[in-house]
């Protein structure tokens, strides 16, 4: 298991297929891999948590929205073996930093994960 000193967070406008593996393991109900693979390349912005020790994605977060009036964080996932270590909070902080920098002040924001 990675310690917080062995991870880094990457902000990106595209989430990779490794991120899909992470979400698949953390979703409470199964999702269609085919649909998720089509959706990930169209991500407006996302965060990947990388375990430097093994160079793999261990957590992700992504929002949806129109980029002007409405913005919702709908996906935050951390692999089960890396949960309860504060990674979800780091993902949410990275997403909020991006929202505060890039979205209009009067944009409606909600969280649904």
Low-confidence residues of the chain: pLDDT under 50: 1
Predicted model pTM? 0.75
Distance of CA 35 to CAs 32, 39, 61, 64, 79, Å? 5, 6, 17, 16, 20
Distance of CA 78 to CAs 60, 72, 84, Å? 7, 18, 9
Domains for the chain: give ranges and CATH numbers. 4-111 (3.40.630.30)
What is residue 89's predicted lDDT score, i.e. its pLDDT?
A: 92
- Cα distance from N-terminal residue to C-terminal residue, the chain: 24
Whose CA is closest to 2, among 88, 81, 93, 94?
81
What is residue 58's predicted lDDT score, i.e. its pLDDT?
A: 85
């Amino acid at each position: 298991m990675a310690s917080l000193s062995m991870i880094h967070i990457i902000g990106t406008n595209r989430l990779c297929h490794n991120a899909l593996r992470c979400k698949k393991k953390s979703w409470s109900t199964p999702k269609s891999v085919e649909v998720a693979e089509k959706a990930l390349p169209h991500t407006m912005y996302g965060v990947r948590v990388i375990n430097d020790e093994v160079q793999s994605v261990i957590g992700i977060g992504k929002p949806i929205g129109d980029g002007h009036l409405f913005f919702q964080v709908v996906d935050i996932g951390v692999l089960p073996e890396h949960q309860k270590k504060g990674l979800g909070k780091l993902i949410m902080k990275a997403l909020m930093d991006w929202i505060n920098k890039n979205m209009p002040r009067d944009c409606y924001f909600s969280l649904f994960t």
